[in-house]
Copies of this chain bind each other. A is one copy, B any other.
């Protein structure tokens, strides 16, 4: 990724997969940057990103039938990246796991997000006020079906990462439960529905800070927790990092997602930030530096 993102320096945006892909997204409003502090953390995240990107590109080659796999690769890589997939790898490493233990899950997490992103931007007949337009490379039918293909593919990728040599089948199954729950009707879909209600409502009464926080937690939070399981963390570590991930996702959503341009979000996020960092206090502070930067830099640049 270092090569793919030579323009990253100082306090910069932690971009989605590559310049070439992210630039295809025509609207800045659709682009949700995950900002990181400069220095060490940045190269840490960049190296994780490179690993995930590499895994995804190898996993979704363009092959026959090209009319199916070309949009699949494009729509998998094009959506802006959230912190969720990178945090999956970082949490795994924090609890002592190897990077390779989490790359398939991190790729799956990104694919869940990509599928949801695509469906959110579909032009449906009852979407009176569509989300900020993104460039549609394909027609709606293809984008719908491709999203339908991306989601199960991500889970297939994860299920296939079981390796007898690592004896990881129970962990992978647990992560499948985590992820499917996080993207389903108790997670992302619930959040999307509430965001939809918000965007269709006339006043701001419905979309108060509490509502936005709930929607963000549902929509973004759940996907930020899986790495600690794969890295072999104990139950307390898993629970702490799950909660930390929930906060990260919620904060991201409040500042750059559902809550963007809404009043009071920065203050609300500041409170969550303190709670988030508290979850990390059982780990050595040296080790948590990169992970903690996710909520710190977010607020600096919000």
Question: Is A220 in contact with chain B by the CB < 8 A criterion?
Answer: no
Chain B neighbourhood of A150, CB < 8 A? 184-185
List, in ascending order, chain B residues with CB within 8 A of A193's CB: 67-68, 142, 145
A124 touches B151 (CB 8 A): no
Interface residues of A in 173-197 (CB under 8 A from B): 173, 176-177, 179-181, 183-186, 188-190, 192-193, 196
| Cβ A65 vs Cβ B155 within 8 A | no
A190 and B125: CB pair below 8 A? no
Q: Which residues of B contact A139 (CB under 8 A)?
A: 126
Asked whether, in the complex, the Cβ of A153 is within 8 Å of the Cβ of B180, the reply is yes
Chain B residue numbers with a CB within 8 Å of A123 are 124-125
In the complex, whether A156 has a CB less than 8 A from a CB of chain B is yes
| Mask: chain A, 136-175; 1 = CB below 8 Å from B; 0 = not | 0001111011111111110110011010000001101100
B153 touches A124 (CB 8 A): no
Contacts of A152 in B (CB 8 A): 112, 151, 155, 179-181, 183-184
A254 to chain B, nearest CB (A): 20
Q: Report A66-95 CB contacts with B as 1/0, cut-off 8 Å.
A: 011100100000000000000000000000
Q: Which residue from chain B places its CB closest to the CB of A161 in the assembled complex?
A: B173
- Main SS at interface, chain A: helix
A134 CB-CB contact with B under 8 Å: no
Contacts of A115 in B (CB 8 A): 148
Residues in B whose Cβ lies below 8 Å from that of A142: 193
B126 pairs with A141, CB closer than 8 A? yes
**Which one of B145, B176, B196 contacts A176 once the chains associate, using CB atoms below 8 Å?**
B176
For A135, the chain B residues whose CB sits under 8 A away are none
User: Can you identify 16 A-B contacts, CB atoms within 8 angstroms?
Assistant: A65-B190, A115-B148, A119-B145, A119-B148, A126-B139, A127-B140, A141-B196, A142-B193, A145-B189, A148-B188, A151-B152, A156-B180, A159-B173, A159-B176, A162-B173, A172-B173
